[in-house]
Structure 1
């Protein structure tokens, strides 16, 4: 099986970074390394990561600092450039990986030598109905998150690249100093430019926060405009479906319900990020206990 590095760009993520690392290291197949790339955080992000490293020295978590530029793209690039796995996973610092994520990702690229990028569905861990939400996201994302002749677009919160593919597109990906594009879509289009295959896997699951929906409509509209801006920067590429239309449709519902549900979680003292994959994690622990028992006998 191919090895998988996990790269996590981070800026002021003290609220969720420890949960993110716990999920990234509680895996059925261990990642080769987990690289947290701190980008001038002014909160406790870096110290929390360092404390995690000190408490879990066998988990291959590393703290890197990208101090030259402020921004997601240079921070992402810094981590991907230094990752040593056969496959480079890339998630956000508030993402929670399903316990078999590394195993699934490794399997995708091991079974399909032509696969150069992979992505999958996500579930909102700080909203109710995780399973229904995951099923709905899978249906929508698989159907409309595509470009050109049906090539899948990668989603930054849940994506992986073959290391050789990253090295092939590294000098071509857009810097986007104006910060008006979707960097994950940009990577996808550069992969397609090289004739590389991108794949979608429904079992490649990540829990994400719905906090993006808890913004003003003006802010949300600017974020949605990034889709058009990215394709405008790549006029040789086309798309039949526009994911932003679906997101516009669900925005009012999530915008209204998100703060209400957060108050419930706070009053009940529930950490949703900790609980999102608890059932799957318990199954993993139980399976490992059984394996240890069999070894003892």
Structure 2
């Protein structure tokens, strides 16, 4: 059993396409469950999510990392797959996650992203991000494990201490602890459609600067109203 955990907050315009893509996978639905952990949405996010998922509930832990942790603790699966409510998953996503864990030594798997909003600028931005991710993996210096496209062996994830409940960088920081539990694998074919809407709204350079600033300050700061703060 693979448990897919999706944090959400006021995503009524995007979550349906995410959940529909998860509902049309190459593996039988009996092999996975879909759990949405909501941060207290004031729109129809939860109403929409209930049409496609096995479970929808309001998070009790703080931040987006806490929402993912809550989902893990409520899950039935031995493998936890994480994505975001505004992402689109290819039909073989869960199948690839399953196959990547065929090696019992593997405790975490992650892959690249591509932009849902098709433009030269968006493709270039994510080309740089994916190149950065590959360099880190193949040099064994760091793991750029984005929360929108990563999966864990559940027992190892819990043993490692799960996500830190911070504003930013929780999805990358956790890999530094997971590597002590076993092998981390980068799968270049494990791709996810990633929404660039926040970067387009606030500007790529400004968004990246704010994210780096928050990470540099231990993942928490009051200087910027980073989007992940919306998760309670």
TM-score band by shorter chain is 0.7 to 0.9
Listed as ranges, the matches of 1:266-281 within 5 Å are none
Q: Which range is displaced more, 24-33 or 213-222?
A: 213-222
* 1:125 Cα deviation after fit: 0.9
For the residues of structure 1 that align with 2:70 and 2:138, how far apart are their CA atoms? 27
1:191-241 per-residue CA deviation (whole Å, 9 max, x = no partner) reads 13x34221100110100111231315555421122343459xxxxxxxxxx
In the alignment, which residue of structure 2 is the partner of 1:82? 74
For the residues of structure 2 that align with 1:104 and 1:219, how far apart are their CA atoms? 31
In the alignment, which residue of structure 2 is the partner of 1:11? 9
In the alignment, which residue of structure 2 is the partner of 1:169? 160
Gaps of 5+ in 2: 220-232
Instruction: Calculate the TM-score normalised by the size of structure 1.
Output: 0.65
1:81-104 per-residue CA deviation (whole Å, 9 max, x = no partner) reads 111112100001011111100011
| Structure with greater helix percent | 1
| Match of residue 209, structure 2, among 212, 221, 227 | 221
The SS at the match of 1:152 is: coil
Gaps of 5+ in 1: 54-60, 232-297
Instruction: Calculate the TM-score normalised by the size of structure 2.
Output: 0.81
| Match of residue 63, structure 1, among 32, 55, 63 | 55
Listed as ranges, the matches of 1:95-110 within 5 Å are 95-110=87-102
1:98-143 per-residue CA deviation (whole Å, 9 max, x = no partner) reads 1100011100001x2111011001100112369x667665434211
Q: Cα 1:150–1:220, aligned 2, differ >3 Å: closer, same or farther?
A: closer
Q: Cα 1:169–1:113, aligned 2, differ >3 Å: closer, same or farther?
A: same
The SS at the match of 1:226 is: helix
